Amino acid sequence: MRLHEIDTPALMVDLDAMESNLHRMAGFFHGQPAKLRPHFKNHKCPALALKQIEAGAIGMTCATLREAEILVRHGVPSILIANEIAGENKINQFAELSREADVMVAVDSEHAVSEIACVARKQGVPLSVLVDINVGLNRCGVPPGEPALRLAKSAVEQGLKLRGVMGYEGQLQVIPPSEERDGSVRVVAKSLVDSRALLEREGIPVEIVSTGGTGTYYVSGAFEGVTEIQAGSYLLMDTLYEKRGSPFTRSLTLLATVVSRPEPHRAVIDCGMKELSAERGLSLVKGVEGVELKALHAEHGLIEFQNPGGGMEIGQKIELWVHYSDATVNLHRRMYGVRKDNVEEVFQIEH
């Protein structure tokens, strides 16, 4: 299949750029004590997860039970659900998955520990948890130190497999790298490693200390005592992370078609916010100067030309850099893997 045969709107990944990101990140972790466990939520493509594992990743991180289920079905042997789950239904599903693969889930409350332990006993299946520590994002998580220790102890006492601790410093991913920012990342890593030491002093072995993202991997991934990094966005790379100073290469675009040229300085494309997320800002147009996406309606994209006339005709295809890959991938069922003008592979996005 050739590029021009793709029906629009369509999500595309530049394979050269994506592979360069894959190898760049794998290269960093080669020889580091910490390993990479990439986040699945960003691309939701089992085929890409398997490529990441082939390149050295020790398993996958994910955000939901549903994602864990998809990963188990595709043969990923080790999965961290870096998120809280609640309710007997969900925990029963978690127990089912735990029979098939090494699946772990984050906990940040006595409530969750008791509920998970209860299902583990009922179903007679050992269940693995990590204590989620709030490292400043102020989303989920218990405070580091004593509260983390208390929860870990409780998990052990109730018969859960306490695998370690995690803490996601999302608040630092959005700040461009600098000595000061990187110092804050080390403070986060240290608080996790200190919590690890606290647990181990109390006789609780800690196998996993998980943290880090695409913006901070090179700091937390090199920090003594951190065992794994959750970075995900590096693979497809979007212009939002790029703005934050990431060294990876943009690879993700939305292919659209001009469907209307109502005025010399305006065009309308067949791609709106149902295909391209604007939750974090608007996309840039790829490879054409003086052409700007001005607005996304539900089903339309409004394009403006600096130079009236602009040379863009109805039927012409146009590529937009995906600004926020997480929310955009979530709008699609497939992603076309493109090299030059060829579609080499179609990646299924699973939901």
Q: Using CB under 8 A as the criterion, which residues of the chain lie in contact with a copy of itself when the complex forms?
A: 5, 7-8, 41, 63-64, 83-87, 89-90, 108-109, 111-112, 115, 134, 138-142, 170, 257-262, 266, 268, 270, 273-274, 277-279, 297-300, 302, 313-315, 326-327, 330-331, 333, 351
CB of 191 to a copy of itself, least distance (A): 16
* CA dist., res. 119 & res. 121, Å (int): 5
3-state secondary structure (DSSP) of residue 110: helix
Secondary structure (DSSP) of 22-58 = HHHHHHHHTT-SSEE--BSTTT--HHHHHHHHHTT--
CB of 90 to a copy of itself, least distance (A): 7
CB of 260 to a copy of itself, least distance (A): 4
Q: Find residue 345's DSSP bridge partners.
A: 337
* CA dist., res. 79 & res. 127, Å (int): 13
CB of 147 to a copy of itself, least distance (A): 10
* Helix ranges restricted to H, the chain: 15-29, 46-54, 65-73, 88-100, 110-123, 146-157, 170-173, 179-201, 217-220, 239-243, 325-329
Which CB sits closer to a copy of itself, 34 or 236? 236
CB of 248 to a copy of itself, least distance (A): 19
Which CB sits closer to a copy of itself, 19 or 350? 350
Residue 37 CB neighbours (<10 A): 27
CA end-to-end span of the chain: 25
Strands of the sheet containing 228-229, edge to edge, are: 35-36, 228-229, 208-211, 161-166, 128-132, 102-107, 78-81, 60-62
Which CB sits closer to a copy of itself, 64 or 78? 64
Secondary structure (DSSP) of 154-177 = HHHHTT-EEEEEE---HHHHTSPP
CB of 342 to a copy of itself, least distance (A): 18
CB of 93 to a copy of itself, least distance (A): 9
